[in-house]
Amino acid sequence: MLNLFKIAMRNLSRYRRRTILTASLIVTGVVFVLVFVAVTGSFKAMMIGQVTDSFLGHIQIHSKGYVASIDSLPLTMNLRSQSVKKVEKALHKIPGIEAYSPRIKFGGMFSNFVETTNVRLNGVYPEKEIKTLPFFLSRIREGGKIIKKGEVLVPELLAKGMKVKVGDMVVVIATNKDGSVNGKQFRVGGILESATGPGGRDGYIHIEDAMEILRMDNVEVSEIAVRLKDFSQLHEAHNKLQDAFSSELNKKGKPIFEVHTWEKLSPFYNIARMIDVMTFFIKLMLVAIVLISIMNVMIMAVYERVREIGTLAAIGTLPGKILSMFVIEGFCLGFIGAVFGSILGGAVIFIINIYGVTFDFGRQKGLILSTSVNPNDLIMVSVIVIIVSVLASLQPAFKASRMDPVQALRHI
């Protein structure tokens, strides 16, 4: 086998210019794919991080039907305290749950004593919310980095429109689930940066303030946001939660809870899917580049070495070994392309990181893209190149192995 590799490498170095050109083509393809995968993958990961770690969480649990009516934030569909306890119990049992945050979401009126406008608010336990959303505090542009009782974090656009600043007093008025209206005076505790996506422009208050406005005796939460220890376990955790709640039925025999991953809740998921589709097609292009270039080179190699093939066959080389010779030659070419492409791709990604690529996402400006290539992607791209190289060599190699030695020896 080692001798076959030695002969293959020598044959490749024999047509040095052609080998370098073909290998360069493969290297270029690999570099392009790796950089694309790294940039888009990092962009995707960063955006998912922004969406899930700023306001959405990885998974959300609601009472059944809540998500379909989420635009009206129906208080009547909130989870009762008994249901909340069931959810909390289930969350404690399932491994891989890092944190969770119950929220009361409601709509109300926001007044600065001069003007009044609509507002959507989340009543949260500050510590639980911060544990569930690690980027939450970074969204507070002005004011203290905490949600105190009696204070409200006002979304920046609302603060700008209503001309309120940290320390100002405002009034929040809301209707509870029974239809009675109540109001409460708040101090503006901070201005909150907007985030792209549903819920990204909501204000925040302490959950006990929310209960007071809505005249709740016991906590009735609209949703429970969940953070996982390992994001890659998203679907596994989702399935486990669904299984845990599958037996929780109401009196009509219908499920009490519904569990959704961020994918179902954020429109950014479609952009993420589009990035995946684009990546797939870019990989397909790489396959085409490798397939065509290797096949072309190997067909040329067989055509140019017909007499050599005839000689090898004449002196007793078995067809299988002649086939192996050419397949190994294709393999070596693909391997060289994959290795140099990976090294060069890594270097380009490193350079991109040194210079730093900044971009905007919605109202978030100047995000710095930290590109990195997943080792799995690196291995997968290399394996694709090598497998395609071998497959591309098969047809010319098979032709060589089946060559009639008499005809081959006569070839000029």
Partner 1 sequence: MSLIKAEDISKDYQAGEISIKALRGVSFDIEPSSFVSFVGPSGSGKTTLLNLIGCLDKPTQGRLRVAETDVSTLNQKQSASFRGKHIGFIFQDFNLMPVLTVYENIEYPLIMVQDMPVQERKRRVMSLLEAVGMDDQKDKYPGQISGGQKQRVAVARALVTNPELVIADEPTANLDRKTAYMVIDLMKKMRDELKTTFIFSTHDPRIVDEAEIVYTLEDGELTDRAAKGGINDVKSI
- Contacting residues toward partner 1, per CB under 8 A: 3, 7, 10-11, 13-14, 307-308, 310-319, 321, 402, 405-406, 409
Distances 408 to 7, 8, 12, 411 between C-alpha atoms, Å = 20, 20, 21, 5
Q: In whole angstroms, what is the distance from residue 88 CA to residue 86 CA?
A: 5
CA torsion 303-308-313-314 (nearest 10°) is: 130
The least CB distance from residue 25 to partner 1, in Å, is: 23
Closest CB 26 distance from partner 1, rounded Å: 22
Query: Of the candidates 276, 78, 47, which has an alpha carbon nearest to the alpha carbon of residue 176?
Result: 78
Q: How far apart are CA 153 and CA 188, in angstroms?
A: 6
Provide, rounded to whole angstroms, the least separation between the CB of residue 4 and partner 1. Answer: 8
- Least distance (Å) from partner 1 to the CB of residue 314? 5
Nearer to partner 1, 274 or 318 (CB): 318
Q: Give min distance, CB of 2 to partner 1, in A.
A: 10
Distance CA 287, CA 296 (A): 14
Cβ-based nearer residue to partner 1, 160 or 402: 402
**225: enclosing H helix or E strand:** strand 223-228
DSSP H helices, 52-80, are: none
C-alpha 84/C-alpha 130 separation (Å) is 19
Comparing CB distances to partner 1, the nearer of 10 and 89 is 10
| Comparison of 276 and 304: residue with beta carbon closer to partner 1 | 304
Q: Give the integer Cα–Cα distance in Å for 64 and 78.
A: 10
State the Cα–Cα distance between residues 245 and 256, nearest whole angstrom: 8
Output the smallest distance, CB 338 to partner 1, in A.
Answer: 23
Residue 326 beta carbon to partner 1: minimum distance, rounded to whole angstroms: 13
**Complex with partner 1: residue 179 or 320, whichever CB lies closer:** 320
Q: Which is nearer to partner 1, 20 or 137 (CB)?
A: 20
- Minimal distance in Å, beta carbon 288 to partner 1? 30
The rounded distance, in Å, linking the Cα atoms of 181 and 48 is 38
In the complex with partner 1, which residue's Cβ is closer, 202 or 329? 329
Angle at Cα 303 formed by Cα 297 and Cα 307, nearest 5°?
A: 135
Minimal distance in Å, beta carbon 304 to partner 1? 11
CB nearer partner 1, residue 191 or residue 323: 323
- Per the listing, tokens 């899917």 go with 273
Give dist(CA 43, CA 233) in Å, integer: 20
Q: How far is CA 316 from the centre of its chain?
A: 56
C-beta of 317 vs 353, nearer to partner 1: 317
For 171, half-sphere exposure in the C-beta direction (CA atoms, 13 angstrom radius) is 12
Instruction: State in angstroms the smallest separation of the CB of 322 from partner 1.
Output: 9
Contact 33, 381 (CB under 8 A): yes
In this structure, are residues 263 and 276 in contact, taking their beta carbons and an 8 Å threshold? no
CA nearest to 121, candidates 51, 57, 207: 207
Q: Helix or strand or coil: residue 204?
A: strand
User: Please, which residue, 3 or 118, has the CB nearer to partner 1?
Assistant: 3
Other residues' Cβ atoms within 10 Å of the Cβ of residue 180: 10
